[in-house]
């Protein structure tokens, strides 16, 4: 008998077809939103879960699904999954690193440019028929070329962002849990390591790219924003919860920083509605990895992981190898 899996959200039909070659697949082509209780009910007799960021895998779900052996998350971040609890329950967990690095780095720059040059704000004005009111200082923004970019989180995506800075003639300073090797700093990444406070003070613009962990909750709050230049743009493509959104809203409203570009929020998709009343923030709905090619690569990567996990092979992106070792 084939192992059985649940694909929790709608995904590419060709990936469903691949999965059907290996598994009995219960999919969700209409993309119905499952409550936690509905997810438990659908998963309780399954061997595997193809998950997205919208499913929470917590001790309650794991307890209700004794057959479950593997959860493949179609995302590089996995703060929707309690990995320790999964390890305790003998459930393998995988993510989709690397395939999205360049696409996500592109998007970090898109948000930075859009916020610095006030692209969405001016488009709203144009669409509202206001162009007759043009004047010399309409939508004047900040230059990126020649400025200093601060990158917090110099993993693979952070490095891909830093590499793109050379064409703009920018300096890059970065902060990370650990320093890069000297040849990586000086080479293509064009980056200099500084302390976090120094970064916030010196950078003309700041991009956040670190993975979420509880220790980093609200790591950018009132005090950190106060260190930034009043002309600075803050870009968050990391995770909601890294920034104290209420503190950011106050700072944007009082123009203590010039603007922000945000792809992630606390409590998304139910984010703080006060953002909507601000003109100096560019808001996108967690789409940094959403190029056609990269989303397909992520779905296939998650499928590869699930197929390996449930056919006695080593999943390429196993996050809790202790489970495999004990299997």
Q: Which of 286, 295, 314, 324 is catalytic?
A: 286
For the chain, the straight-line distance linking the first and the last C-alpha, in angstroms and rounded, comes to 20
In angstroms, the CA 283 to CA 77 distance is 20
The residue within the footprint of ligand GLV, chosen from 3, 141, 153, 240 (CB under 6 A), is: 153
With tokens 């082509």, the residue in question is 29
Q: Which of 55, 239, 266, 295 is catalytic?
A: 239
Q: Which of residues 175-234 bind ligand GLV (CB under 6 A)?
A: 176-177, 209-211
Q: Answer whether 280's CB lies under 8 Å from 117's CB.
A: no
Residue 218 falls in the annotated catalytic set:
no
CB of 281 to ligand GLV, least distance (A): 19
Nearer to ligand GLV, 211 or 316 (CB): 211
Residue 40 falls in the annotated catalytic set:
no
Q: Does 90 bind ligand GLV (CB under 6 A)?
A: no
CB of 263 to ligand GLV, least distance (A): 8
Q: Does 83 bind ligand GLV (CB under 6 A)?
A: no
Q: Which of residues 35-74 bind ligand GLV (CB under 6 A)?
A: none
In angstroms, the CA 229 to CA 144 distance is 14
Give Cα separations from 263 to 33, 109, 219, 238, 286 (angstroms): 21, 12, 17, 8, 5
Q: Does 97 bind ligand GLV (CB under 6 A)?
A: no
In angstroms, the CA 291 to CA 107 distance is 10
Give every CB contact of residue 140 below 8 A, 6+ residues apart in sequence. none
Catalytic machinery residues: 239, 268, 286
**What is the contact surface with ligand GLV in residues (CB under 6 A)?**
75-77, 100, 153, 155, 158, 176-177, 209-211, 289
């Amino acid at each position: 008998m084939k192992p059985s899996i649940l694909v929790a959200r709608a995904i590419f039909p060709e990936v469903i077809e691949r999965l059907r070659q290996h598994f009995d697949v219960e999919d969700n082509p209409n993309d119905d939103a499952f409550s936690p209780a509905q997810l438990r009910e659908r998963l309780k007799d399954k061997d595997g879960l193809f998950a997205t960021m919208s499913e929470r895998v917590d001790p309650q779900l794991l307890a209700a699904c004794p057959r479950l052996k593997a959860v493949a998350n179609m995302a590089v971040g996995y703060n929707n999954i309690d990995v320790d609890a999964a390890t305790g329950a003998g459930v393998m967990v995988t993510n989709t690193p690397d395939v999205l690095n360049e696409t996500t780095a592109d998007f970090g720059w898109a948000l930075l440019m859009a916020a610095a040059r006030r692209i969405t704000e001016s488009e709203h004005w144009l669409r509202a028929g206001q162009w007759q009111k043009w004047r010399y200082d309409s939508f004047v923004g900040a230059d990126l070329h020649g400025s200093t970019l601060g990158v917090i989180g110099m993993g693979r995506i952070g490095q891909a962002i830093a590499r793109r800075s050379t064409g703009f003639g920018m300096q890059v300073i970065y902060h990370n849990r650990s320093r890069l090797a000297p040849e990586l700093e000086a080479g293509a990444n064009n980056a200099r390591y500084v302390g976090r406070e120094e970064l916030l003070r010196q950078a003309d613009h700041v991009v956040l790219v670190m993975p979420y962990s509880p220790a980093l909750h609200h790591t950018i709050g009132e005090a950190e924003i106060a260190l930034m230049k009043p002309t600075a743009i803050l870009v968050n493509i990391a995770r909601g919860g890294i920034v104290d959104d209420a503190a950011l809203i106050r700072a944007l409203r009082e123009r203590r920083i010039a603007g922000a570009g945000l792809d992630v929020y606390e409590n998304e998709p139910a984010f703080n509605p006060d953002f909507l009343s601000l003109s100096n923030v560019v808001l996108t709905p967690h789409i940094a990895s959403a190029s056609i090619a990269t989303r397909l690569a992520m779905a296939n990567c998650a499928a590869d992981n699930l197929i390996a996990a449930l056919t006695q092979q080593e999943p390429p992106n196993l996050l809790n190898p202790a489970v495999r070792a004990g299997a």
